[in-house]
Chain A
């Protein structure tokens, strides 16, 4: 299929993008790398009246870090972040998660913020953002606001973004000395959507585990430094709380088991990597 008719606006300034979002509301969609939105247009799951292309705004194409956080602009492609020389040192979890995002071909077009805006339940970048306590910077003609990842993802492909807002950047905390990270994922084939994805952050007092691909949006739990059966019990509880469902590729029971076992593997690896 081909997309329904739409107007295309190449935003020359951020103000122009904001003005169109303000006037068109939900009939406007922001186009960045187009790796999720364009297939949605082609399948007519999305039928916006106007697409606002933000990829020609140089101020959005930057990766910046002050040592405490990494600021990733809305125009930054996934491949660019993965190739950023400081990524492994600044945030090992992002470096571990990014190779799981789609394929090299889609990462060369798709953007970091676009994946966050799309909010697929099995997407890796929203999962990593949640595990790392990242935040989303939204702006509209009226105001700017910063939404923690924990409040941003509200359901299957739905977020706290208002219709007149666009994501200007996401903010990810840098590696904290003493923290360890691990990312585990299982899908049917290379590059397929995750059946279960786990992002773990271990610190001195405990561990934080985020799970994607099971519930409608990524979910996270903080645990004290549990071991052995106490950790098994915690993961058993988490696995049931996610309301896993049967589909063609995995039964609900299989998904719960992956949460328990891949989750445990991620936690143990993150602990070993504490540095």
Chain B
């Protein structure tokens, strides 16, 4: 037990923003004080022979209010982006027509590695929240949601098609590029 004379000065404070004080008179709860915003754009190339997608440039712009820790924000965005690239191009829970799970190992369930994830350009605009003391709004793995959509829109535009299923595997994309194969018996 530390004697009273040696104790450091300390203070614990709890603060609840008034907008989040539950519940309202109508028994409603506001679960989120403020929202971050994202927009993404990208340029891609699709190989005419192999159907492989190359991401030439990927820009992701965030408004998470005041950026409190730039390194941690960049880490969150980059991690969410890598997961988005995986969802868009590689990762799939695949089943056979008989219902057998086909992607139960990392040989078949493909995660993008460092060589498959391009470095995104990360931009910020800081619109301070009026509801938080520091103006911060929060940043999560929002690119998990924005990146698959952004890549799919770019690839669909490149191929001139309206809709495309994820993941955009080369085999699937090549079927949109190449004319149907002539049926031919094995010689």
Contact = CB atoms under 8 A, between A and B. Distances in A.
B is bound to A: yes
A248 interface: yes
B27 interface: no
Interface stretch (A135-143, A167-175, A255-263): A255-263
Contacts of B49: 257-258, 261-262, 265
Interface stretch (B56-64, B121-129, B173-181): B173-181
B171 interface: yes
A249 B186 contact: no
Contact of B108 (A248, A254, A256, A258): A248
A178 interface: no
Interface stretch (B12-20, B109-117, B146-154): B109-117
B102 interface: yes
Given A190-B116, A248-B94, A248-B102, A254 B52 contact: no
Contacts of A251: 171, 175
Interface residues of B, number: 25
B50 interface: yes
B82 to A, nearest CB: 13
A255 to B, nearest CB: 9
A241 interface: yes
B88 to A, nearest CB: 13
B112 A189 contact: yes
A186 B187 contact: no
B184 A254 contact: no
B103 interface: yes
Interface residues of A, number: 24
Contacts of A240: 184-187
A195 B178 CA distance: 17
A186 B170 contact: yes
Contacts of B76: none
Nearest to A254: B171
Contact of A237 (B50, B90, B112, B187): B187
Interface in A173-227: 186, 188-192, 195
A250 B113 contact: no
A241 B187 contact: yes
A45 to B, nearest CB: 13
A24 interface: no
Given A186-B50, A254-B174, A254-B175, A236 B113 contact: no
Contacts of A237: 187
B52 A186 contact: yes
A92 B8 CA distance: 72
A150 B65 CA distance: 66
A98 to B, nearest CB: 17
Nearest to A265: B49
25 contacts: A186-B52, A188-B90, A188-B169, A189-B90, A189-B110, A189-B112, A189-B113, A189-B116, A190-B115, A191-B115, A195-B170, A240-B186, A240-B187, A241-B186, A241-B187, A248-B94, A250-B170, A251-B171, A254-B51, A254-B174, A256-B181, A257-B174, A257-B181, A261-B49, A262-B50
